[in-house]
Structure 1
């Protein structure tokens, strides 16, 4: 037996590849055998080729926190993450249920607000949310779809069960890294992909285009991807998706509103845009309606949207549904709108605005993960067991000053997956972000972006915080 996995330590975490007695989980032995039979030198060589290919393909993102802003690749690990068919079937069903319920919630919140009148969710939770946009009241987006593109973050707990960590319904990113990660895998692992019967994810951009076309209600709509510009951290993704769908990539300089229609400047004059896949936050999109200081928005775009002349994906105001306080109510949201029990569970969540919960959080902060309600990317977060006494005191003061803005969750031991680290294979913590599309029907891409906390022992998987990625293989059987 080759020594690649002989010293592999799961450290009592649930591992994506290895089960008990240092043997692979049943049904994925083929992948284990393949990587076990390659020499470490061969693995390192393939890893280097992978990273070189990423650089050559321009798969990069910007890190604003570094001096001057640094453009770099998201590290990708050569060993894929495997999800068996039966597990995926349950995940897919649970994600469809959740997304449908959240879309019903958004329709209700911006119209009759029955869920508030029935006191399922306290009204002040909604009205105090940064994501709730009062200007969107009584505006129905085209086809009644609010959340066309969702990236839902899941983790496995120590029992190996998938649970929902958070919902990303505004401008979820990372799908290009999922798609390009698979293309890179095909370059070196095509035979294994075929032999292991891995489901394809290549139809994602075609499905995305179909969703945007469906929203327009037209047979030949004009669709464009709106980017904040080349300095945005996800600009590579914006340009990649536009190119893959065969649509225009535009920014504020390319667009103008005339007679309540959004128009795009072309070499042949102005052309009406039917649907905009926006990668721009609500507050910046129209300086006339929202932030007057926005230099990257399109004046009067909201008028075109309000009159039903423009489809926006995702719809304005969706941020209220991925507020981390609202997240705690999603099981009740599912029950309220669908009269069903949630298929996928939430992580236990303490709302700091509730006095009893706040007392518990303040007294046990060293054991908990504390998060700001509207932050993303690993920012505004305290991981209690990894924090200093000074950091804990800072967060206690912040919680007391603005309890509505904070939630806390137990520090969950994310599952691990084997990664090539130097001259050995070691476990690193991972999460999973599948991408869900909502058009005529709900489609869950069979895979997703597996994000990896590359630092030993770290639980922070975000690319902006030094995380990496893995290709995610969903098996057909």
Structure 2
């Protein structure tokens, strides 16, 4: 706490900085001018700066220019290190999230008017949905034309008459808004399908509030945690048991907004699931876990309605759950939002909402929307055609205009004569597919560019959650800012950026958190069930990283041989160990061919080739893609290690030393990741599958190394190479005061259970992991993975080093490969085995 003395000191400091601060503000705003006829967030209708923005700039100017740049850099660094990404439409790769360094600022009085309109609109749309899929009185009484609803692909006859479990059609509603010509907030579009952006709004807040923590507190910014808490509680209330299991249904890591799905799942404490993770049994939905099928009670969906059930909806969909709609009919699962709710996103319905507000609510809409004429009605169609040059043409039911490329509105005034005639004819012949909308230019907000602020158009997405106390509005939202000054719409494509939204108050704001009160928390020591897909990805993440480590060790030994003149001479004449390393790299798909005279070239290819699937670069990138599917389960540090490895391997390397140095750096990064997993991950099933992947891959690679370099006629050089590859040089020298000999090297590398790099140690660890996992079958027999692991361990435990030869080592390697396959088939079923019937009794 700061007492009166502290306040006085701050006041004196503020006075001493007032003059330079005012000069900086004058410099920042010198060229700032509101666009003609366009409302602006910084300059009010009277031409003066809005009070909230003046408060912000006064506090902002108290920071030195160097401090401001450091804070901006801190925010950018957090976005990179945390891997905050998105994928623009048409992209195949993720981009770093483009966050504006200045927030959108709205004062609480202005926000109160906006939230009243959003809450009213959400309630109206809930009532419309209830009628569309229920009694159908609005259509029967002529309040809505039937064609305006039935023309939408989002209208699902399959859910007509189905009462939503939990009682809500809309659990989460969002509206894109902007200031209209009169300075009031206007609705640009409704989002009722599966509104996106709340997770990014949360991430924006985390980044900017940390970068400018003192400024954030001094502005009395309304907190967002209570909204998410209320939303989470409302989903829990929609279930039919006290401690429901809630899943966030995602299309997967190829979704444009997958990062947001992972963020929300982690923040809200939900399970992140894909359609393949779920199965129907009886009248319930279950999630496939490594402990069998477990009941799931609520699904917060981020999959479009038509893709939810290939049995009753889109048969080509691989994103949904076969039989989900039937379970919904039986009340076996609550789905938020209710399938079919996307019908209200159709622009065809916009023109009817004012009349529906009077009919259903007995009041006019508090917040207007863009004037819209649906061309499915003769009078509206004629009105649109009569003033075609003054309005924009949009599709009535989706993005883009039917028959015209792209997703943007079509302006007839800008079309060539033949295209204009084609548009006119299409509207006249099939007006049901088109709407005309008033031309609207977006209002603007300040953006920091080159040390000054400049106005840029923006769209604000405001979120409303249905709770037991009515509609709760997120105090802030998801703001998208366009790069062009005359943008009519904004999507997260080229040039667009996002901004945090600060709803500011003159009074102090109570700090809040999503964490519940201590006395309401049920003590747990296990994080919950582990979905089979997550276990699969963790297992393969461990295998890919261990495979990369083995490849890097080969590269390091091969590259180091070029540094030693004696070894270089022997390599050029065919040193056996060098040839064997090169053959291994070719066999593993890391290099194309061996070359006695060009070991450095082989090493460089194995390190950085983008064409070779077994190169270190390819393996680390594959591990990164796998880790992307585990965003909600990996710590920021672990994620950062993997991304940095991928970036470092893509750097240009000029010389042979650079190849070896890079391999050594990546090996250290891999050790860092292993340390993070060992020390920071909870000892639950997730950690076990990650470690099992590492152990099984290390066992296989160790046996391959042993076969190649500890063969019956192996000499000192081969054995020394083997000890280097398995990182056992120090251990061997501490035990044996002689040069490498075949028998002790074989024992150390293959049979020694005290050596953490030996094959026997890996099998022992695998046995411990498998024994700790839940049994999937209930007839008391030992299951195949454990049976194989016990058999291999028994072979290694009872083997004598004198009996080890190339044939027996190859046999052990094959048994380890079989064990790896058995783990995959048992815990991660695919294809026709995906609907696993085990453990259907006593479902939790």
State the TM-score, normalizing by the size of structure 1.
0.93
1:8 aligned onto 2:32: yes
Counterpart of 2:489? 460
Output the CA distance in 2 between the equivalents of 1:369 and 1:17: 28
Q: Give per-residue Cα distances to partners, 1:282-303, cap 9 Å, x unaligned.
A: 1111111111111222111111
Output the CA distance in 1 between the equivalents of 2:420 and 2:482: 22
1:351 aligned onto 2:366: no
Output the CA distance in 2 between the equivalents of 1:321 and 1:242: 26
Counterpart pick for 2:478 among 439, 445, 449? 449
Deviation of residue 468 (structure 1)? 1.6
How many residue pairs align between the two structures? 475
List alignment gaps of at least 5 residues for structure 1: none
Output the CA distance in 2 between the equivalents of 1:406 and 1:18: 36
Displaced runs of 4 or more, over 6 A:
none
Aligned positions of 1:117-132 closer than 5 A: 117-132=140-155
Counterpart of 2:753? none
Output the CA distance in 2 between the equivalents of 1:35 and 1:464: 29
Counterpart of 1:255? 278
Does structure 1 retain, via aligned residues, the 8 Å contact 2:74–2:211? no
Deviation of residue 108 (structure 1)? 1.1
Decide whether aligned partners of structure 1 residues 20 and 89 sit closer, same or farther in structure 2, where only a CA change above 3 A counts: closer
Does structure 2 retain, via aligned residues, the 8 Å contact 1:377–1:462? no
Deviates more, 1:291-300 or 1:357-366: 357-366
Counterpart pick for 2:453 among 418, 425, 428? 425
More helix by share: 2
Counterpart pick for 2:463 among 416, 435, 441? 435
Output the CA distance in 1 between the equivalents of 2:253 and 2:303: 13
Counterpart pick for 1:473 among 502, 506, 525? 502
Deviation of residue 395 (structure 1)? 4.5
SS in 2 for 1:78: coil
Output the CA distance in 2 between the equivalents of 1:37 and 1:401: 63
Output the CA distance in 1 between the equivalents of 2:410 and 2:68: 33
Counterpart of 2:648? none
Counterpart of 1:416? 444
More strand by share: 1
Counterpart of 1:389? 416
List alignment gaps of at least 5 residues for structure 2: 1-22, 507-844
Decide whether aligned partners of structure 1 residues 54 and 356 sit closer, same or farther in structure 2, where only a CA change above 3 A counts: same
Counterpart of 2:120? 97
Decide whether aligned partners of structure 1 residues 200 and 64 sit closer, same or farther in structure 2, where only a CA change above 3 A counts: same
Does structure 2 retain, via aligned residues, the 8 Å contact 1:5–1:36? no
Deviation of residue 200 (structure 1)? 0.6
Counterpart of 2:822? none
Output the CA distance in 1 between the equivalents of 2:492 and 2:146: 35
Output the CA distance in 1 between the equivalents of 2:398 and 2:155: 15
Output the CA distance in 1 between the equivalents of 2:400 and 2:99: 18
Does structure 1 retain, via aligned residues, the 8 Å contact 2:186–2:369? yes
SS in 1 for 2:322: coil
Decide whether aligned partners of structure 1 residues 386 and 149 sit closer, same or farther in structure 2, where only a CA change above 3 A counts: farther
Asked which structure has the greater CA Rg, the reply is 2
Deviation of residue 393 (structure 1)? 5.7
Does structure 1 retain, via aligned residues, the 8 Å contact 2:60–2:215? no
Counterpart of 1:264? 287
Output the CA distance in 1 between the equivalents of 2:105 and 2:319: 41
Decide whether aligned partners of structure 1 residues 334 and 6 sit closer, same or farther in structure 2, where only a CA change above 3 A counts: same
SS in 2 for 1:436: strand
1:19 aligned onto 2:44: yes
Counterpart of 2:545? none
Decide whether aligned partners of structure 1 residues 265 and 41 sit closer, same or farther in structure 2, where only a CA change above 3 A counts: same
Counterpart of 2:9? none
Q: Give per-residue Cα distances to partners, 1:10-37, cap 9 Å, x unaligned.
A: 1232110123686411344211323456
Output the CA distance in 2 between the equivalents of 1:216 and 1:87: 36
Aligned positions of 1:25-424 closer than 5 A: 25-35=50-60, 43=68, 45-66=70-91, 69-362=92-385, 364-376=387-399, 380-382=407-409, 384=411, 387-389=414-416, 395-396=423-424, 398-400=426-428, 402-424=430-452
State the TM-score, normalizing by the size of structure 2.
0.54
